[in-house]
Amino acid sequence: MINWLKYKYIYFSISILALSLGLFGILKWGLRLSIDFTGGVMAEYVLGKDVSIEDIKSKIENEVKANVSSISKVGDGGSYIFRISSLNDNQKEKLKDILKEAAGDNFKELRFENVGPSVGPELVKKTVYAIVISSFFILLMVARQFSSFKFGISAILAMFHDSFILISSFSWFGHFFGAEVDFLFVTALLTTLSFSVHDTIVVYDRIRELQRKEGGEFVSLANRALSETMVRSLNNSFTIIFMLVAMILLGGSTIKWFAVALLLGTIAGTYSSPFVAVPLLVVWNNWEEKIRLRKLSR
């Protein structure tokens, strides 16, 4: 049996380093918000044939001087939806000239709508509410299932650890690669919350099972539970990671950063369950034991 928890302070140091880098990125650069939060233009054009999205995006950014959030192909009729920062009349005409050049006689404008930024604050508020409410009920559920708040609080702290790493990593991606935070990112964030807790509960359940059947020192039980669930956890995570890597490589620019966010969330969740949630639980248990012995010695 591997003594995983012998290195618990190394795991904490890795997490503190990752969280510190994330905090630095957020304070230094912040997050690049898409038009879902800031407002902009949503337009749909028929180009009548397959075009290079990367080439069109590059031309719009260089010649129209507009920030392109996404370009998505719709159906098989050669229609494309463009999500772009706000345009004045001159920029709109330049955009149409670029698309007419690419489409030729097939060019047709289906819609051109200005999207207000009012949805942004509302979406942020609802996302925060969703995280707080789900965290509260997860805390209660885990605490009830394991008959102790230390299990629930340790699981929630590991979940926040994963969430912060995912959010803050996009400040780095936004600064160096132009990645934006949009509706899909919020979806990836909420998915990460559930994945993180799910993996943690598997390990906690094994600790409880060993405690009931065999008893013994808590650290030894935790080490044994980690050894017995590690392969299963890694196999489960790798199947998701392989699929997400394929999406990043082959899925196109529209879902690229959504897949990256899910990939980061999966990696963080896989790491935090054995190397954050369980060490936190063991440290908490050790403190409880020391306090109990101190009271007995008086």
pTM of the predicted protein model: 0.80
Q: What is the pLDDT of residue 271?
A: 93
Geometric angle at alpha carbon 82, from 79 and 85, rounded to 5°: 165
What pLDDT is attached to residue 120? 63
> What pLDDT shows up at residue 118?
56
How deeply is 160 buried, as exposed, middle or buried, from its count of CB atoms within 10 A (0-12, 13-18, 19+)? Answer: middle
| Predicted local confidence at residue 167, as pLDDT | 94
- List the pLDDT tens digit at each of the 298 positions of the chain: 788 889 999 999 999 999 999 999 999 999 888 877 777 888 888 888 788 888 888 888 888 888 887 787 777 777 888 888 888 888 888 888 888 888 877 888 888 887 766 556 777 788 788 888 888 888 888 888 888 888 989 999 999 999 999 999 999 998 998 888 888 888 898 888 888 888 888 899 999 899 888 888 889 999 999 999 999 889 988 999 999 999 888 877 678 889 999 999 999 999 999 999 999 999 999 998 888 888 877 7
Q: How far apart are the first and last CA of the chain?
A: 37
Q: In what order do the strands lie in the sheet with 40-46?
A: 68-74, 79-84, 40-46, 108-115
d(CA 235, CA 52): 37
- What is the predicted pLDDT for the residue at 14? 96
Cβ atoms of residues 138 and 155 within 8 Å: yes
Query: Which amino acid is residue 224, in one-letter code?
Result: R
Exposed, middle or buried, 175 (CB in 10 Å: 0-12/13-18/19+)?
A: middle
The per-residue b/e assignment along 209-235, b for 16 or more CB within 10 angstroms, e otherwise, is ebeeeeeeebbebbbbbbeebeeebee
For the stretch 251-259, contacts whose Cβ atoms lie closer than 8 Å and that sit 24 or more positions apart, written own/partner, are 252/53, 253/53, 253/54, 253/57, 253/70, 253/71, 254/53, 254/70, 254/71, 254/72, 255/184, 257/173, 257/179, 257/180, 257/184, 257/185, 258/184, 258/185, 258/187, 258/188
- Residue 52: phi, psi to the nearest 5? -80, 110
C-alpha to C-alpha distance for 253 and 259, rounded to whole angstroms: 10
The phi, psi pair for 250, rounded to 5°, reads -115, -10
**Which helix or strand (DSSP H or E) is residue 81 part of?**
strand 79-84
